[in-house]
Chain A
Amino acid sequence: MTSAQATPPEALRNAVIRLAGYSQDGIQSIGAFLAQLAGSTAQDVMTHMTIPSTISGGPSIYQVHLGSGKVLHPGDEADTLVAFYQDSYDNHLKSLRDGGICFYDSDKVEELKMERDIIHIGVPFTSAAIEAIGGSAKDRGKNIFVLGVLCSVYKLDREKLAEIIGRKFRGKPEDILRNAMLAFDAGFAWPVHDIDHMPFAPGENEEANRLSTDGNTMLGLGLIAGGCRFGAGYPITPWTSIMEMLRSELPKYGGMFIQAEDELAAVSIAIGAAYSGHLAITGSSGPGLSLKSEAIGYACMAEIPLIVVNVQRGGPSTGLPTSVEQSDLMQAIYGSHGDAPRVVLAPRDVEDCFHTAIEACRIAREYSTPVIILSDQAIATRIEAFPEPDLEKYWKEPTLDLSERGADFKPYPLDKITRHAPPGSPTSEAKYPVVTGLEHDEWGHPSSNPLNHEAMSGKRREKLIKLANSLPSPDFFGDEQGDLLFVGWGSTYGPIKEATEQLRAAGHKVGSLHLRHIHPLRNGLGDIFHRFTHVLIPEMNDPGIYGNGQLATLLRSVTCNPNIQSLNKIQCITFRVKEIVDGALKTLSL
Chain B
Amino acid sequence: MSANPTAEKLTKKILKADHPTWCPACGDFAVLASFFNVIQKLQIPHEKIVCVAGIGCSSRFPYFVNTHGIHFIHGRALPLATGISLSRPDLHVFVFGGDGDGYSIGGNHLTHAARKNVNLSYVIMDNYVYGLTKNQTSPTTPIGRKSKTDPRGAIDRPINPMTQLVATGATFVARTHAAQVKHMNEMFERAILHPGFAVVETLSECTMFYPGAFDSGNPRKGGAFDLVDETTQDLTSTSEALKLAEDTSPGKFGVYYETKLPTKNELEWAWVNDEQAKSPDLSGKDLLRKRFAAMR
* A contacts, CB < 8 Å to B: 39-40, 209-213, 217, 221, 224-225, 230, 232, 249, 251-256, 258, 260-262, 264-266, 268-278, 280, 294-295, 298, 302, 388-389, 391, 395, 397, 421-427, 430-438, 445-446
Contacts and interface: CB of A to CB of B under 8 A. Distances in A.
Nearest to A262: B108
Nearest to B84: A272
Given A209-B292, A294-B73, A265 B66 contact: no
A275 B83 contact: yes
Contacts of A388: 292, 296
Given A432-B68, A435-B71, A424 B296 contact: no
A254 B276 contact: yes
A446 B47 contact: no
Interface stretch (B189-197, B212-220, B283-291): B283-291
Q: Give the contact-size bracket for chain B.
A: 35 or more
Contacts of B86: 230, 256, 258, 269, 273
Contact of B79 (A264, A302, A423): A264
Contacts of B88: 276-277, 422-424
B84 A251 contact: no
Nearest to B48: A424
B82 A276 contact: no
A269 B14 CA distance: 30
Contact of A272 (B63, B80, B90): B80
Nearest to A392: B285
Interface stretch (B202-210, B225-233, B235-243, B267-275): B267-275
Given A268-B72, A432-B46, A434-B71, 14 more contacts: A254-B272, A255-B272, A256-B269, A258-B82, A265-B79, A268-B80, A272-B80, A272-B83, A275-B83, A278-B87, A423-B47, A425-B47, A431-B66, A434-B70
Nearest to A274: B83
Contacts of B278: 252
A261 B83 contact: no
A230 B83 contact: yes
Contacts of A302: 70
B109 interface: yes
A276 B91 contact: yes
Given A275-B80, A434-B63, A438-B71, A423 B48 contact: yes
Given A426-B46, A432-B68, A397 B87 contact: no
Interface of B: 7-8, 14, 18, 46-50, 62-63, 66-73, 75-76, 78-88, 90-91, 108-109, 111-112, 268-269, 271-272, 274-276, 278-279, 284-285, 287-289, 291-293, 295-296
- Most B CB within 10 A of own CB, among A262, A388, A430: A430
A91 B143 CA distance: 62
A266 B274 CA distance: 25
8 contacts: A252-B287, A264-B75, A269-B80, A273-B86, A276-B83, A424-B48, A426-B7, A432-B69
Contact of A252 (B81, B268, B276, B292): B276
A212 B293 CA distance: 11
A446 B8 CA distance: 28
